[in-house]
Chains A and B, each alone.
Chain A
Amino acid sequence: MSLSGQRAGIAAPLTDGVSYAEPSMAGAGDYLALMKPRVMSLVVFTALAGLVVAPGPMHPVLAFFALVCIAVGAGAAGALNMWYDADIDAVMSRTSDRPVPAGRIRPGEALAFGLVLAGFSVVFLGLMINVLAAGLLAFTIFFYGVIYTMWLKRSTPQNIVIGGAAGAFPPMIGWAAATGGIGLESCLLFLIIFFWTPPHFWALSLYRCDDYFRANIPMLPVAPVGVAPWLLGTAGLVYGCIAMLGGAVMVVLALQLYRAPKGASEPVAKRLFGISIVYLFVLFAALLFERALGLAQFGLPFGRVVA
């Protein structure tokens, strides 16, 4: 069997005439790769931040179970993405060795794997934690698998702007798992990742693509949104300082990239891509450590006014 149904406008695959091994040559590692473990780790980290920052206690076992469900749900979305994008993956050197285009896992197996994981993660999050968190997880999988992968990714250059919402939901799901509701604070955590996503991926595409276009990098929103949890009293002074400093660095790098002459922007784009990862990680790590050390009480009091 070969990768059939090549869609119009897609270059020929790098691996000529993909054939699927019979019996299967897929190892456990191939199924793990289908779940995009690096994306999963970021999802778990941000969902953990949502769980920890949320008010009210949650039993550690239930919190761990919720995180496992969210992680498996993210893995399901990754598998569905790899199933649908096998034709695209086959033409890019970075992705041509993924399990489906490389012929180790059949497209149908990847689809079944993704659907089963999605079903299990949503049903058990709903049965054991709460229905709102399960509903949000189901919507996130649908958004990533259908809205982003099947529709936006192939139809508009703004795909990552809207599709970034899928990666921004995990802290909101964590918050919903802990509280059973959606608060203003969880919306802020959502917005931080939502506004962080475009500059992060555009920086990646700027040094990955030969023929790039100068994108309008929406850097300004992410800096003030990153500080908002401190202004509203959800986070403390340590977080506030890190958010201001990190936001300023991101804005400076974005401006450098914007002003860089054509052909000399690759090093700046690489730096912005690397710093953007550190920025998001440090921001959410600060939230976690403030809670662990009891420093969140040093937040500004505007949150009480808003509440």
Chain B
Amino acid sequence: MSFVMDPQPIEPGIVLTEEQKRRRRSRSIAIAVALFVFVVLIFAVTLVKGPGVLVRPL
């Protein structure tokens, strides 16, 4: 005698529309660009200030 497990029903969850996918992609690209610009800016400022990067006047 064997038990046959019923396959678990697969719930579709939240299905994004094409427009929602497009907007999510635009948000992701914007975050990536902002992060890249942020890293480049900090790197450039660090190069300019050199070892005294944390030395700053009041």
Contact = CB atoms under 8 A, between A and B. Distances in A.
B48 A24 contact: no
B26 A130 contact: no
Nearest to B16: A23
Contact of B27 (A27, A65, A68, A127): A27
A264 interface: no
Contacts of B26: 27-29
B1 interface: no
B5 interface: no
Contacts of A124: 42
A65 B45 contact: yes
Contacts of B22: 27
Given A25-B19, A62-B48, A68-B41, A128 B27 contact: no
Q: How large is the interface on A (under 10, 10 to 19, 20 to 34, 35 or more residues)?
A: 20 to 34
Given A61-B45, A128-B49, A28 B54 contact: no
Contacts of A180: 57-58
A279 B35 CA distance: 37
A132 B23 contact: no
Given A28-B27, A61-B44, A131 B58 contact: yes
Contacts, number: 56
A142 interface: no
Given A62-B48, A129-B56, A131-B56, A23 B14 contact: yes
A207 interface: no
A26 B58 contact: no
A27 B58 CA distance: 40
A32 B26 CA distance: 12
A26 B27 contact: yes
A297 to B, nearest CB: 27
A59 B19 CA distance: 44
Interface in A79-133: 124, 126-132
B56 A130 contact: yes
Nearest to B21: A23
Interface in B15-53: 16, 19-20, 22-24, 26-27, 29-30, 41-42, 44-45, 47-49, 53
Nearest to B28: A28
B45 A62 contact: yes
Contacts of A127: 54, 56
Contact of B48 (A26, A61, A68, A126): A61
Interface string A37-70: 0000000000000000000000101100100100
A201 interface: no
Contacts of B53: 128
B47 to A, nearest CB: 8
Interface of B: 14, 16, 19-20, 22-24, 26-27, 29-30, 41-42, 44-45, 47-49, 53-54, 56-58
7 contacts: A23-B16, A24-B23, A28-B29, A61-B44, A65-B41, A128-B45, A131-B56
